[in-house]
Amino acid sequence: MKYAIIGTGAIGGFYGGMLAKSGKEVHFLFHSDYKEACSSGLTVDSVMGDFCINPIHAYRNTADMPACDIILVCLKTTNNRLLADMLRPILKPDSQIVLVQNGLGIEQQLADVLPPSTAIAGGMAFICSNKIGPAHIRHLDYGKLTVGVHQGDCSKLQILCSDLAKSGVECVLAPNLLEARWKKLVWNVPYNGMTVILDTTTEHLMQQPDSRALIYDIMLEVLRGAEANGVHIPRSFADEMMASTDAMRPYKPSMRLDYDHRRPMEIDAIYTGTLQAARNKGVDLPKIAVMEQQLRFIQQTYLP
């Protein structure tokens, strides 16, 4: 079974690194840190134990990669306009694509530009992981990956779950991809945006009563958007997310790191898509709408 990691950053570096560490054949696509990966390998500092994959199957272009059985796409959605062309050289008729990305509707967007028989699934990572240097990942906490079927013969997802479990990573198959996507938004929507807007980190948000109450209200708006789209998520799930974040190590989510490094933020994937899905059902999410407007101002004013 050949694996491909498209986007060897905080997420792809961890999951791909764990698979490679357990003996799986993994082919990694790098961008700016390709030379460092070739010379020094992929380093992962993890709460589960530090390791380095060296030598490594490293590439800077998918045209040089072999066709693979399971392809984990771990790019930011801001690069998805390039994704179909990147995937075509490594696709086989029975390849399994898993989009380990944020947002709603991204699977269908890819399905629209690939053959209709292509096996496409979504992946939701509940993990605290950052890229701290060239080909260098720091895994701080958690790590569970939830995967769900979008289209095609996704029988290889069971193999993925089994292989990740053998590597020490919890991986579960969700019965409903749309529900899993909305559940991920319950965390992503408040914490990604609020850490940027308020220039802070998750633990400080949770320590202040006012910001804590605002976080919870935003979570409830996400639940309302999900309900309008036929996905019932009990209020207790928001309570679980609050408790998980209370127990989490101090953490800057991916959007805050994108802002810090002056990269485009995933506003469309996390906020615009959520708002549009709710509006299509006649539901307004006012607090999330304000966050979207604030984030667009920040991106247009302070980011290149």
- H runs (alpha helix) in 75-208: 83-87, 106-111, 156-167, 177-197, 202-207
Give the number of C-alpha atoms closer than 13 A to the C-alpha of residue 181, restricted to the C-beta side.
Answer: 29
Q: Are 182 and 222 in contact (CB under 8 A)?
A: yes
Q: Are 157 and 180 in contact (CB under 8 A)?
A: no
Q: Tell me the CA distances in angstroms from 56 to 2, 6, 166, 266, one per residue in order.
A: 14, 14, 20, 30
| Secondary structure of residue 42 in the 3-state scheme | strand
Give the chain's length.
304
- H runs (alpha helix) in 23-176: 34-40, 83-87, 106-111, 156-167
- Which is the catalytic residue, given 2, 21, 76, 184? 184
Cα pseudo-dihedral 54, 60, 65, 69, rounded to 10:
80
Residue 184 catalytic?
Answer: yes
Catalytic residues: 184
